[in-house]
Amino acid sequence: MAPCALLAKPLCAISTLQKILQRRCPQKQGMRSAKTQFNPFPQTMPKSFSLFLALRYLKPKRTFLSIITLVSVLGVTLGIMVLILVISVMTGFEQELRRKVIGFDAHVIIANGGVLENWEATAAEAMKSPHVKAAAPFIQGPVIVEYQNRRLAPKIRGVDPELERKVVNVADFIVDGSYDLAGSKTVIGSELARELGVGVGENVTVFSPGNFNQILEELDRMQRSGDKSTDVSALKQMILPTELEVAGIFESGRYLYDSEFLLVPLHIGQELYNLGGGAHGLALGTTDPYLANTVRDELNATLPPPQFAMSWIDMNKQIFDAIRMERSVMFFLLMFIVLVAAFGIMNTLITVTVQKTREIGVMKALGAQTHQIIGVFVAQGMVVGVFGTLTGLGMGIAMVQYRNEVSRFLSSALNIEIFPASVYQFSEIPAEIVPSDVILICVSAFMICSVAALIPAWFAARLDPVKALRHE
């Protein structure tokens, strides 16, 4: 090839670049003498030089690089949007579960693994704490409940309605009937009522472990005495000693409680378990639910063994630990979407480096510094990161705000239930945007995009100007 032809393209590129830089760095007429050598890359070059070329490279003409750039931006956008949505929903789920637990559970309980014979004295001791506002005894244990030949094995919770109301106001959770535990009445969970098919005003029969112990004792007596006659009616009275009228149905929002608990008066629970005046434990209400661990520690320091105190945080520790672990795992898994987008950015910049090899050689031949060449390509990664982060942030917040509408639309369009209330026990998808989480997601995505641009930028800066000018 002729030398003139070989130099034609570089000289044309130099001329074009000089014109661009002269427009970007105008000089006053007459200030430069003819003998002064023009340096298109002076040390006082405007800081926007790298950004200017980066934007031109990201939006080229007559190439497919603009499509690759768009795909890279969409990858970052999708990753951030999904991350914000999932993390917000999981945070909302945890917070909503905490609210439900705090609303229906005692903040602290005192027990000894058996029977608290003198629970009044223990309650008086617990009330000395400035953080304890109320104390109520409870009976809790498994029973068998029968209604129209349907039998289930839930748990009873015997409570004193007046004292219990100061600890947990179950009346707030009543969805049918009333919170009435006078006489031989009971209030049962909504899922338990549905499974039994029982309604307000109907009677259920309760079998307790104490009843079966009586039967075994009676059979042992007959065996010892040699009496082989069996009084069926007497045994039946032992088996079916208690009939309770359903006065109300509660719905706490937690399947565990709604399907496994029926509330009875304290004296009924004591009779079923033959406790006399004792109780299985004490339920305490605190002035602030988040002081429960403090109250627990204070009580454990003063309670005589084998009595001990547990907070609602201790009783639900496995659930909350599982949610936090799932949240962390989901964060790292979904961050791979951003990493894939970062590889797309790297691929785009490598393609730009290959296509612009001659121009990079021209810039280096004209005196461009290494950091200026690196700045061009890092600026491209940062621009993609900024656009992807901002659009992902906006779309993520919008998805969180309209999550229930989107869920209902998808359920209708796909004919499947996206968020079944029977499983999650929430009528709507809970969500809570935590600013620190959003900042962490956005900063992480931006940093990943910027770092992804360093590798092609470094290769571009190390190009030999002579070899680059000869590149075809």
Please state the pTM of the whole predicted model. 0.68
Last residue of a domain, one of 315, 336, 370: 315
Statement to judge: residues 380 and 349 lie in one domain: yes
Statement to judge: residues 224 and 285 lie in one domain: yes
Statement to judge: residues 85 and 182 lie in one domain: no
Chain centre to alpha carbon of residue 11: 60
- Cis amide linkage into residue 306, ω under 30° from 0: yes
Q: Three-state DSSP class for 254? A: coil
| Position 364 pLDDT exceeds 90 | no
Tokens 């900024």 correspond to what residue? Answer: 386
Statement to judge: residues 115 and 253 lie in one domain: yes
Statement to judge: residues 119 and 215 lie in one domain: yes
Say if 81 falls within a structural domain.
yes
Statement to judge: residues 127 and 257 lie in one domain: yes
Q: Are strands 261-265 and 308-311 parallel, antiparallel or unpaired?
A: unpaired
Say if 1 falls within a structural domain.
no
**pLDDT band for position 107 (cuts 50, 70, 90):** very high
Are the C-beta atoms of residues 437 and 91 closer than 8 Å to each other? yes
Q: So what's the pLDDT on residue 130?
A: 92
| Position 463 pLDDT exceeds 70 | no
- Overall number of domains in the chain: 2
Rounded to the nearest integer, the mean pLDDT of the chain is 79
**Which residue segment(s) compose the domain that 81 sits in?**
47-95+321-469
CA angle 451, 455, 460 (to 5 degrees): 130
What does each C-alpha distance from 282 to 105, 115, 133, 136 come to in angstroms? 12, 11, 13, 6
Count CB neighbours of 15 within 10 A: 10
Q: So what's the pLDDT on residue 273?
A: 86
Statement to judge: residues 201 and 185 lie in one domain: yes
| Position 16 pLDDT exceeds 70 | no
Say if 305 falls within a structural domain.
yes
Q: So what's the pLDDT on residue 214?
A: 61
Say if 169 falls within a structural domain.
yes
Say if 148 falls within a structural domain.
yes
Tell me what the mean pLDDT of segment 109-127 comes to. 90
Going through 52-116 in order, the beta strands assigned E by DSSP cover: 108-116
Are the C-beta atoms of residues 319 and 90 closer than 8 Å to each other? no
Statement to judge: residues 250 and 141 lie in one domain: yes
Q: So what's the pLDDT on residue 340?
A: 81
| Position 294 pLDDT exceeds 50 | yes
Chain centre to alpha carbon of residue 352: 40
Tokens 């009228």 correspond to what residue? Answer: 245
What does each C-alpha distance from 177 to 130, 174, 197, 202, 253 come to in angstroms? 36, 7, 15, 11, 17
Q: Within 13 Å and on the Cβ side, how many CA atoms surround 349? A: 34
Q: So what's the pLDDT on residue 63?
A: 53
Are the C-beta atoms of residues 311 and 292 closer than 8 Å to each other? yes
Q: What is the DSSP letter of 183?
A: S
Statement to judge: residues 218 and 332 lie in one domain: no
Say if 366 falls within a structural domain.
yes
Amino acid code (one letter) for 187: V
What does each C-alpha distance from 192 to 144, 150, 323 come to in angstroms? 12, 11, 26
Q: Higher-confidence residue: 284 or 105?
A: 284
pLDDT in tens, 213-228: 666 566 666 666 666 5
Last residue of a domain, one of 266, 286, 315: 315
Say if 420 falls within a structural domain.
yes
| Position 275 pLDDT exceeds 90 | no
The closest alpha carbon to 282, from 141, 163, 171, belongs to 163
Statement to judge: residues 333 and 280 lie in one domain: no
Last residue of a domain, one of 263, 293, 315: 315
| Position 133 pLDDT exceeds 90 | yes
Going through 214-260 in order, the beta strands assigned E by DSSP cover: 242-250
Q: Higher-confidence residue: 340 or 406?
A: 406
The closest alpha carbon to 197, from 246, 261, 239, belongs to 246
Q: So what's the pLDDT on residue 193?
A: 93
pLDDT in tens, 330-349: 888 888 888 887 887 787 77
Tell me what the mean pLDDT of segment 67-83 comes to. 84
Say if 40 falls within a structural domain.
no
Among the residue ranges 47-56, 269-278, 303-312, 436-445, the one predicted with the least confidence is: 47-56
Statement to judge: residues 307 and 200 lie in one domain: yes
Statement to judge: residues 235 and 258 lie in one domain: yes
The alpha carbons of the chain give a radius of gyration, in whole angstroms, of 37
pLDDT in tens, 21-37: 455 444 444 444 434 44
